[in-house]
Amino acid sequence: MTTFVDRVELHAAAGNGGHGCASVHREKFKPLGGPDGGNGGRGGDVILVVDQSVTTLLEYHHSPHRKATNGQPGAGDNRSGKDGQDLVLPVPDGTVVLDKEGNVLADLVGQGTTFIAGQGGRGGLGNAALASARRKAPGFALLGEPGESRDVVMELKTVADVALVGYPSAGKSSLISVLSAAKPKIADYPFTTLVPNLGVVTAGSTVYTIADVPGLIPGASQGKGLGLEFLRHVERCSVLVHVLDTATLESDRDPVSDLDVIEAELRQYGGLDDRPRLVVLNKIDIPDGQDLAEMIRPELEDRGYQVFEVSAIARTGLKELSFALAGIIAEARAAKPTEEATRIVIRPKAVDDAGFTVNQEEDGIFRVRGEKPERWVRQTDFNNDEAVGYLADRLSRLGVEDQLMKAGARAGDGVAIGPEENAVVFDWEPTMMAGAEMLGRRGEDHRLEAPRPAAQRRRDRDAERDDVQKEYDEFDPF
């Protein structure tokens, strides 16, 4: 039996960035030759790419954890670390990527369409790159950033040429099993098919795909039964085939009213009106079925349908059906102007790149959120005072200090940078951030210290800021 997995969870872990290197050039008779620590390499991305030769998500069902390689650390003598390798994961055409809450992140259609599921971490700058007029020989380097780790859900919206629609037990799965090499599960009770099956049919020189999906019942378009799940798959097919049961034992049904019910559901769902349709009358191996088929054929043809009488069990009428479908598909393909150009899906930016927010929380802590401040914190080696000072300069230049002050933060207040689960917490000292390791001064109450007059404080800060500003005008690594 072929297993068809159309919904999987993927845990994508991008590679970490390599750390920058802090090193001093050494040469005979030149004891202090200047900083020459190289930058760390970028961590590899985890990238999803549509590959039309891939038909299921089964592989990710079996091994859902995927990791790209890390960037290498920088080295002395200005040697940069090697970048990590991107991990390219092939996915079937029609894969929809969602987050855990069910929001669509990307809809991947067309060979080569890509989506970055996990972004590799940036490499840290080495001390050579961090040198500036003011900081001629930095004794520190930036850390590489951890790669992005993300859980996504991938769903397959079938991209088949033909969709078989009909009531449960009309014989859709049986039909696909005899038209193609697919071996779907077939049983004698409703809703056998829980996920779509995909079969490949060869008729003459035309090769096309046919999707077998869960049976429809009245109310499907409103989400009854597996209706919506099912209709999601039909959306992309270019031909619809009504599979009608000519031998149903349910007394209140007959093929023509079945057809009306299904058509009403399709109309309700919408967007499928332009798709060509044809009708298959199945189960004519049963004598009553054969009689009924002959009786209703004229009515269906009057409605404009091309009608095929078949038996999936006795395998009759199949050739005519598969060649008729091949004809319609060949025509549809010829009418399609050109192959859709490869579309690159660029992941939307999560937060405003330049911005950050400061909020005081219930416990009195001031929380700073924003891409840059959070990144800078990740890049900082808190065991190195100079690196911590550099971080303080960066934050001050971005205006984080100003905002903290506006939000009412006072010297000694707790400031957290980053999300709740993963933040770095400081005791705040204006224009000088101390690392968490320097928190030892318990018992001192900053509020008791005589504060500088506000105007003086501002002047001092501005003077310092100008200095920092100048340095940054001269050099900004990002």
Instruction: Give the footprint of Mg ion on this chain (CB under 5 A).
Output: 172-173, 192-193
| Residue 283 makes contact with ligand GTP by CB under 6 A | yes
Q: For ligand GTP, which residue of 2, 85, 132, 192 counts as binding (CB under 6 A)?
A: 192
Q: Is 165 annotated as a binding residue?
A: no
Nearer to ligand GTP, 258 or 413 (CB): 258
Whether 101 and 37 have beta carbons less than 8 Å apart is answered as no
Check whether 312 is labelled as a binding-site residue: yes
| Alpha-helix runs per DSSP H in 191-242 | 227-234
Q: Rounded to the nearest whole angstrom, what is the least distance from the CB of residue 269 to Mg ion in the complex? A: 19
Q: Which two tokens stand for residue 434?
A: 């101390």
Nearer to ligand GTP, 311 or 380 (CB): 311
**Whose CA is closest to 19, among 380, 452, 298, 457?**
380
Structural tokens at position 148: 């992005």
**Contact, 384 vs 142, CB < 8 A?**
no
Residues 241-261 as b or e (16 or more Cβ within 10 Å = b): bbbbbbbbeeeeebbbebbeb
What phi and psi values does residue 104 have, to the nearest 5 degrees?
Answer: -75, 125
- Say whether 193 counts as a known binding-site residue: yes
The pair phi, psi for residue 214, each rounded to 5°, is -60, 150
40 touches which of ligand GTP, Mg ion, none (CB within 5 to 8 A by kind)? Answer: none
Contacting ligand GTP (CB under 6 A), which of 55, 69, 72, 169? 169
User: What is the distance between the alpha carbons of residues 193 and 191, in angstroms, rounded to a whole number?
Assistant: 5
CA 59/CA 95 separation, integer angstroms: 14
With CB under 6 A as the contact rule, which of the stretches 168-176, 201-209, 418-426, 445-453 interacts with ligand GTP?
168-176
Tell me the pairing of strands 7-13 and 65-67.
parallel
| Identity of the residue, 212 or 374, whose beta carbon is nearer to ligand GTP in the bound complex | 212
Closest CB to ligand GTP belongs to which residue?
Answer: 215
Integer Cα distance of 288 and 259 in angstroms: 19
Binding partner at 169 among Mg ion, ligand GTP, none, C-beta below 5 to 8 Å by kind: ligand GTP
10 Å Cβ neighbour count for 409?
21
Query: 138 with 77: CB under 8 angstroms?
Result: no
Q: Select the binding partner of residue 190 from ligand GTP, Mg ion, none (C-beta < 5 to 8 A, by kind).
A: ligand GTP
Given Mg ion, ligand GTP, none, residue 313, with its beta carbon under 5 to 8 Å by kind, binds ligand GTP
Q: How far apart are CA 325 and CA 318, in angstroms?
A: 11
Residue 313 annotated as binding site: yes
CB of 175 to ligand GTP, least distance (A): 7
Nearer to ligand GTP, 183 or 336 (CB): 183
Q: Of 261, 196, 262, which Cα lies nearest the Cα of 233?
A: 196
DSSP string, 327-371: HHHHHHHHHS-SPPPP-BPPPPPSS-SS--EEEE-TTS-EEEE-H
Least spacing, CB of residue 212 vs Mg ion, in Å: 6
R_g (Cα) of the chain, nearest Å: 33
Ligand-binding annotation for 215, yes or no, is: yes
Among 172, 232, 242, 465, binds ligand GTP (CB under 6 A): 172
Residue 286, interface with ligand GTP (CB under 6 A)? yes
- Confirm or deny that 470 is annotated as ligand binding: no
In angstroms, what is the minimal distance from the CB of 174 to ligand GTP?
3
110 or 168: CB nearest ligand GTP = 168
User: Looking at beta carbons only, is 128 or 195 nearer to ligand GTP?
Assistant: 195
For residue 155, the 8-state DSSP code is E
* Contact flag: residue 67 with ligand GTP (CB under 6 A): no
Ligand-binding site membership of 284 (annotated): yes
Judge contact between 141 and 168, C-beta under 8 A: no
Considering only residues 15, 18, 147, 214, which one is a binding residue for ligand GTP as defined by CB under 6 A? 214
Tell me whether residue 185 or residue 375 sits nearer to ligand GTP (CB atom). Answer: 185
Residue choice 27, 188, 252, 273 for contact with ligand GTP (CB under 6 A)? 188
Q: Which of 3, 99, 134, 191 binds ligand GTP (CB under 6 A)?
A: 191
- Pick what 191 binds: ligand GTP, Mg ion, none; C-beta below 5 to 8 Å, kind-dependent: ligand GTP
Interacting residue ranges for ligand GTP, rule: CB under 6 A? 166, 168-174, 186, 188, 190-193, 214-215, 282-283, 285-286, 311-313
Binding-site residues from annotation for GTP: 166-173, 191-195, 212-215, 282-285, 311-313
